[in-house]
Structure 1
Amino acid sequence: MATVSLDCRSRTDQDGLAAVRLRVEHQGTQKFINTGVKVKPGKWRKGKVTRGHREADRINSRLREVESAAQDALTKLRASAVPITVERLKARVQDELDGDEAPAEQPDFISWSLERVQKVYDNQGTRRNHRSSLKKFERFLGEQYSRADIGFRELNASLLEEMMAWESTELGNANSTVHKTMRTLRRMCNLAIRDGHMQQSEYPFQHITLSRSRTQKQPLTDGEVEALEERRKAMDQGLVSYPRRDTTAAHALRSWLVQMYLLGMRWGDVCSLEWDNLRDGRVQYQMLKTGTAKSVKLVPKARAIIEVYADRQGEKRFVFPFLDYRTEDLSTDEGIRQATQRVNASVNQKLRKIAERVGITSTLTTHIARHTAANRMASAGWELRKISAALGHQSVSTTEQYLRSLKDDELDEDHADLF
């Protein structure tokens, strides 16, 4: 339970006087605020100066004002939806004691951060990723708090730890995903300190250690890709029970192969591929993630798969039917982005089942198509710069991460020949 009370220190200065402090306490933790009053310990009893002190009336009157202001701050904090912490209580009491004027209106953390993201990042994809993390944080706050309840002082280590636990248990997010969300919040806190909205002493991440475990994405071998291609052919001929020709699983398998054949095209771009993007034997489109224009040759294997959907041309906007019945606003990039992200989970589920049917033991997802394409390029002797350009990476270091498993395989081969 949170309490505020007056306290006289036992330790005295060289004049034999002890400081009278306001004690702020919650759940066994104490903080103190100096009242500016000093008295001899013998003149202090039961929260006030004894009558034997010559200025007892004046000092006690001042201390009652301090105690009253502190109780007002505690009452206001209890009435709000913000969880009480000893740090937050001390800050509210200090604000109450600093003067009659209300402190300047401070923006809430989420609103400020969403606006700040637009100013500090030029890259569209980076902006979107940060906004997504902030929206997730707002979703966590949910009914318990409103966006306006969480200012810069309210963002503490306890709240962030609750957020991480919620994201892990309620959403089932992997450690790397939780880490990504926390990196956004940490970045916003650092900017808030730089902009003067948060004090360094209030920085919540000084009490939080973020552990990041990278998930090694295993590209498919040539044999595994061939197994998927054979499954696709058998499916199109109606020779297998799973997947059937016109099911989501069938579309998932075909789109995965198209992703790989088109130099690791991103899932969102394949899912939202339009007939208008197919021109002069090429696939010409604007990447959803970065907004960058891209042009890729429509190689025969990809063309053969797309021709399966030829009866849709002229009637449907998209090559694949994933977005046919989506309710998002598909007239905007943001609406398309949201729709493709929501479809992705279902497609990955189908891909895992297909992988089991053909004997692929590694995890098969839409993103693995990019890793598989990258390894194919590297194995064929492509320079790192070309692979990076083909994948649409803005940093060569990202491409190097894609090729990590290939480097390990090469080391294994050299190691075997070494001894």
Structure 2
Amino acid sequence: MATVSLDCRSRTDQDGLASVRLRIEHAGNQKFLSTGLKVKPEKWRDGKVTRGHREADHINSRLREVESAAQDALTKLRASAVPITASRLKSRVQDELNGDEAPAEHPDFIAWSLERVERVYDNQGTRRNHRSSLRKFERFLGETRGRADIGFRELDASLLEEMMAWESTELDNADSTIHKTMRTLRRMCNLAIRDGHMEQADYPFRHITLSRSRTQKQPLTDAEVEALEERRKAMDQGLVSYPRRDTTAAHALRSWLVQMYLLGMRWGDVCSLRWSSIRDGRVEYTMLKTGTAKSVKLVPKAREIIKVYAGRRPKQRFVFPFLDWRQEDLETDEGIRQATQRVNAAVNQKLRTIAEKVGITSTLTTHIARHTAANRMAGAGWELRKISAALGHQSVSTTEQYLRSLKDDELDEDHMGLF
């Protein structure tokens, strides 16, 4: 049974005063909430200060307010469908004292998490990634449980382990992708505990260890880039059977090279590159991932490729035709993001085929353009700070990950000369 009472600590400060606090008890658990008041212990009796205290009326009036707020919070919590805990009751008392409305109850973990993501994260990309993981969890429940919701107390380790197995076998997700999904669910569970919707004892990740192996993204060598450029020239002249000039594969090859030539421009930004962004010999745009402005010089090699699409202007607003037939709302950044993400898989498939045609054995994807550009910059002696700025990274540590393979090569050369 939950109880609330006023308590005066026995320990005093240098002035001989002890803190008055609200004691909250339930099922053997205790929580304390400071009232902000201090009194001499000898002036405290039966939950109030004695009449001998010169501010007895004022202090006792404040204490009655705290006590009343605590009883109101307890009454409301008992009337709700949420299980009572000492932590949850403490949070509700604080809301009552602050004049806040009690938060709406969310019996559904996914619905609550989707709402919480919008409030806790400012970065659009982070919100999008968390939403994607939660939607995947929702799909898992639909396919395995015949429902799309789950209560907080239903979330346990065995269910999460089943989810990980489902991602691996049914979706063929890599370990890194599964790890990303689980990190989202773990973060939401931690927030649910903090917000009082889940008990620490019910935390499902206590018995799950998340581990992942980082996949090393291999940038292309100068020779491999040159092989792609030669294939692009032969394609534009109609000298090769694959890719043909007006196919998705052709657009994939050209856009990959433009990504690299424009200092590792992100795929979403080059896919949705507007003609209006190209002016005065520069490409000026707002990065979809971070929402920050970016300005890059339009170097001759990138300009040569873009000129192939000059006939699209001014009828089409996008330089490349990837989004011409998409059904998403292309008037919003979110709609464009969704469209570019869906196109990306098809483009990567074409890039892998092109790589095979020119003898590239490493995996070729749109993201490898960024790694290749980063390594080109580092090889040319660019400072880490400049490379980070060129790539639009918000953290230099991310740039260091891009350059890891280059550092290993440098060590190899030094190693050979050591012995």
TM-score of the superposition, structure 2-length normalised?
A: 0.75
Q: Percent identity?
A: 85
- Structure 1 residues not aligned, in runs of 5+: 1-33, 35-98
Q: Which residue type is aligned with residue 274 of structure 1? A: R
Task: Give the alignment's Cα RMSD to 1 decimal.
Answer: 1.6
Q: Aligned residue for 1:281?
A: 281
Task: Map residues 155-170 of structure 1 onto 2, 5 A cutoff.
Answer: 155-170=155-170
Q: Aligned residue for 2:236?
A: 236
Shift of 1:100: 9.7
Q: Which residue type is aligned with residue 130 of structure 1? A: H
Give distance in 2, aligned partners of 1:190 and 1:241.
Answer: 55
Inter-CA distance 100–297: structure 2 relative to 1 (3 Å threshold): closer
Q: Aligned residue for 1:199?
A: 199
1:103 aligns with 2:81: yes
**What is the SS of the residue equivalent to 1:173?**
coil
Q: Cα deviations across residues 217-236 of structure 1 (Å, max 9, x unaligned)?
A: 00000000000000000000
Q: Aligned residue for 2:100?
A: none
Q: Aligned residue for 2:210?
A: 210
Q: Aligned residue for 1:128?
A: 128
Q: Aligned residue for 2:147?
A: 146
Inter-CA distance 102–393: structure 2 relative to 1 (3 Å threshold): closer
The answer (yes or no) to whether the contact 1:269–1:288 under 8 Å persists in 2 is: yes
Q: Aligned residue for 1:265?
A: 265
Q: Cα deviations across residues 337-356 of structure 1 (Å, max 9, x unaligned)?
A: 11111111111011011101
The answer (yes or no) to whether the contact 1:153–1:198 under 8 Å persists in 2 is: yes
Q: Which residue type is aligned with residue 412 of structure 2? A: D
Q: Aligned residue for 2:350?
A: 350
The answer (yes or no) to whether the contact 1:108–1:147 under 8 Å persists in 2 is: no
Inter-CA distance 100–338: structure 2 relative to 1 (3 Å threshold): closer
Give distance in 2, aligned partners of 1:339 and 1:137.
Answer: 22
Shift of 1:146: 3.3
Q: Cα deviations across residues 374-416 of structure 1 (Å, max 9, x unaligned)?
A: 0000001111111011101111110000000000000000000
Q: Aligned residue for 1:41?
A: none
- Bigger CA drift: 326-335 or 250-259? 326-335
**What is the SS of the residue equivalent to 1:339?**
helix
Q: Aligned residue for 2:87?
A: none
The answer (yes or no) to whether the contact 1:164–1:178 under 8 Å persists in 2 is: yes
Q: Cα deviations across residues 112-157 of structure 1 (Å, max 9, x unaligned)?
A: 1111112211212111111111111112112534344x12101111
**What is the SS of the residue equivalent to 1:327?**
coil
The answer (yes or no) to whether the contact 2:259–2:369 under 8 Å persists in 1 is: yes
Give distance in 1, aligned partners of 2:246 and 2:106.
Answer: 55
Q: Aligned residue for 2:20?
A: none
Shift of 1:171: 1.3
Give distance in 1, aligned partners of 2:318 and 2:353.
Answer: 25
Give distance in 2, aligned partners of 1:281 and 1:216.
Answer: 35
Give distance in 2, aligned partners of 1:378 and 1:111.
Answer: 45
Give distance in 2, aligned partners of 1:184 and 1:106.
Answer: 18
The answer (yes or no) to whether the contact 2:288–2:333 under 8 Å persists in 1 is: yes
Q: Aligned residue for 1:334?
A: 334
TM-score of the superposition, structure 1-length normalised?
A: 0.75
- Structure 2 residues not aligned, in runs of 5+: 1-26, 28-76, 83-104
Q: Which residue type is aligned with residue 250 of structure 1? A: A
Q: Aligned residue for 1:393?
A: 393
Q: Which residue type is aligned with residue 194 of structure 2? A: R
Give distance in 2, aligned partners of 1:137 and 1:333.
Answer: 25
**What is the SS of the residue equivalent to 2:209?**
coil
**What is the SS of the residue equivalent to 1:294?**
strand
Q: Which residue type is aligned with residue 103 of structure 1? A: A
Q: Aligned residue for 2:45?
A: none
Give distance in 2, aligned partners of 1:217 and 1:366.
Answer: 11
Shift of 1:106: 3.8
Shift of 1:288: 0.8
Task: Map residues 212-227 of structure 1 onto 2, 5 A cutoff.
Answer: 212-227=212-227
Task: Map residues 306-385 of structure 1 onto 2, 5 A cutoff.
Answer: 306-385=306-385
The answer (yes or no) to whether the contact 1:232–1:253 under 8 Å persists in 2 is: yes
Q: Which residue type is aligned with residue 307 of structure 1? A: K
The answer (yes or no) to whether the contact 2:175–2:213 under 8 Å persists in 1 is: yes
Q: Which residue type is aligned with residue 209 of structure 1? A: T
Q: How many residues align?
A: 321
Shift of 1:159: 1.3
Shift of 1:168: 1.3
Inter-CA distance 406–191: structure 2 relative to 1 (3 Å threshold): same
